[in-house]
Amino acid sequence: MTDTLTIRRPDDWHIHLRDGAMLKDVVNHTARQFARAIVMPNLKPPVTTVAAGRAYRDRILAAVDPALDFTPLMTAYLTDDFDPEEMRRGKLEGVFTAAKLYPANATTNSAHGVSDVKHIHGVLDVMEDVGMPLLVHGEVTHKEVDIFDREAVFIDEVMVGLIKEHPGLKVVFEHITTQDAADFVMEASDNVAATITPHHLHYNRNAMFEGGIRPHLYCLPIVKREKHRLALRKAATSGSHKFFLGTDTAPHAIGAKESACGCAGVFNAPYAMESYALTFEEEGALDKLEKFASVNGPKFYGLPLNEGTMTLTKKDHQVPERMTLSETDIIPFHAGEVLAWSVG
Ligand code: DOR
Ligand code: ZN
């Protein structure tokens, strides 16, 4: 049995760091595990200009513990009227690594998102031109489409056409949750890849209702049927270069989750690698973890691999029932469970 596993230092290709008082504690949970992270731009107001991206990056860097070596990679929030030249400038000035497509009203702070991709073809042309990945929250928002079908419908209604119109554009299908998305990405060109979260590998939709409603397992896209979870596990552990690590860690205060209208998001940053290791071990694929966590992402983004290493040890440790971030109490992913892997 493997007792320790040393891999190249991993990166997280999808995180929410928030802002203000919470930022300091949130970012250091990520920086303890990951060398780099793609930072989502869904702040209030969203990050829609180069100046806002630069200022947010400065606040993040000021909040990182100087003993940790961490690089935030910033993203632009696409809107219907995002100026293509602002995107070009963001890339050329080294501020924006990628841009995020939120369909309007699909999730937390997405009200200013894109109402129809026909509005953003000019920006996508520029991104294709400068080699900047498009990160997609792949869900339609029509009231008549069942929430569990929104990702699959998005593939047919939006993704297929988008890729056809921009064949040279790098596209990351973020936090995929279905077999449909895993199959789609597998069959698409090498310009299309996907991130997979630890919670979508761990839970199916029954878990959200086990013994009562479980608001801390509510995230978007919502967890799906068991067959989809199994397909995601197969994709993540397959060794395919098309799938890589993106936690979608998204903290919300306990009160905002346990509410009449609870927020979507799972705070998994503190134990993300332990959770992924568990999944890869259960699938008999620990030898594929390094590719998923540390190799496939940077290769897709055209960035160098990290030089350092991370060691995971087969050692039980207890995840706390709750954690305090600044003065905000949060229930983390795996709260109260004993995890069989530890970092370090
Ligand atoms: O569960 C989610 N939480 N999904 C998202 O797309 C956004 C995120 C957040 O910002 O809270
Ligand atoms: Zn997200």
Residue 96 is predicted with a pLDDT of: 98
Order of strands, edge to edge, in the sheet holding 171-173?
12-15, 36-39, 71-77, 96-101, 134-136, 171-173, 192-196, 243-245
Give the chain's end-to-end CA distance (angstroms, integer): 18
248 among known catalytic residues: yes
The whole model's pTM is what? Answer: 0.98
pLDDT of residue 1: 56
Regarding the beta carbon of 279 and ligand 1, being less than 6 Å apart is answered: no
Of the residues 11, 12, 25, 248, only one is catalytic, namely 248
Cα separation of 123 and 188, whole Å?
Answer: 22
CB 35 within 8 A of CB 11: yes
The tens digit of pLDDT for each residue in 5-48 reads: 999 999 999 999 999 999 999 999 999 999 999 999 999 999 99
Q: How confident is the model at residue 326 (pLDDT cuts 50, 70, 90)?
A: confident
Q: Whose CA is nearest to atom 4 of ligand 1?
A: 220
Q: Is 200 in the pocket of ligand 1 (CB under 6 A)?
A: no
Return the axis-axis angle of helices 272-282 and 226-236, rounded to nearest 10°.
Answer: 90
State if residue 265 touches ligand 1 by the CB under 6 angstroms criterion.
yes
DSSP 208-221: GGTTS--GGG--SS
For ligand 1, say whether the CB of 264 is within 6 Å of any of its atoms: yes
Ligand closest to 199 (CA) is 1
For the chain, what are the domain ranges?
A: 11-307
Give the pLDDT band of residue 2 (cuts 50, 70, 90): low
Nearest in space to 10 (alpha carbons), one of 328, 190, 245, 256: 245
The pLDDT tens digits for 43-63 are: 999 999 999 999 999 999 999
Q: Which residues contact 146 (CB under 8 A, 6 or more apart)?
A: none
pLDDT at 278: 97
* CB-neighbour burial class of residue 249 (10 A; exposed 0-12, middle 13-18, buried 19+): buried
Architecture of domain 11-307: Alpha-Beta Barrel (3.20)
Instruction: Render pLDDT for 241-285 as a digit per residue (tens, 0 to 9).
Output: 999 999 999 999 999 999 999 999 999 999 999 999 999 999 999
Closest ligand 1 atom to 109 CA: 10
Mean pLDDT for 133-150 is 97
Average pLDDT, the chain: 97
* Ligand 2 centroid to residue 16 C-alpha, Å: 6
